[in-house]
A and B are shown apart, each in its own frame.
Chain A
């Protein structure tokens, strides 16, 4: 029995590693890539990884990466060689944007070319890519594409392109119970009752599994959103979170 051992020559240029949908091989030839920190699993050649805060390409970062919230999670990879990326054993696919925009869950975005600009989305835990270039996204299972109008479980949502931002939709029956029980705001558990509602023209990217990891990005986003709150509001938040923690038995 023989096994096929990959060499820099046999690894593809900007495509999935043969027989493995979970690893992606990028050919680096001078042009830098933004890559998510920790996404690198191996590389051949000479590749440097520079944190955004201490890179030589400060101009590039200033113009293409406008999100202080995520700046610590990204590095610039540059040099020459083959760079292999992976993410939690998720499926990885590359997408091309041509003067377009796409919003994606921050923890599912792995890498993008500097032709694209990253901005923080208004929807917590998501980022928007604008411009022309290639980007890599990971998903739990193959990505499905669907057209609005549709309603989707927030956990199954990977991203959306060319359509207006979603709004929340709450199941009517659940709303009734919710109001009659007069449950507190933080009492609502993430289940089937809450969906994202997409309308208008565009494409929605959906992952086939609802399993998401503990999203550090989302937490940080919510934390940053609490800044404009007053002292009294913060205390109110403190109380309701405290009540929820007790209720959950922690």
Chain B
């Protein structure tokens, strides 16, 4: 058996034992539709577990900080809600994108504060559309 044939059979063997599910391939193909051309990317710069709050059941909180070219986005993730703040403060149209459930539109107020609708969990990315017509997108994270 030459090497090429052997490699083909190795591939076939793993394909038979443990194929990539079609749904995973489909999700990969549809990832391109989440692209926001021209948006600035704010990447996850830090993640911190807040100290447990005594007396609060479950009460685990995380603070996620995203930094982009000109902005910072902070997210406070608690069991009951996800809130956040855009710095420098600015109102914005806010598109909350959930890789599974699609997109919901909300807004950030004059002080840049916002509340994510619903119990966000799963893979999420935010798009802020600012008054000067520029956009900022946060890198995808699992809430």
A and B co-occur in one complex? no
Residues of A within 8 A of B (CB): none
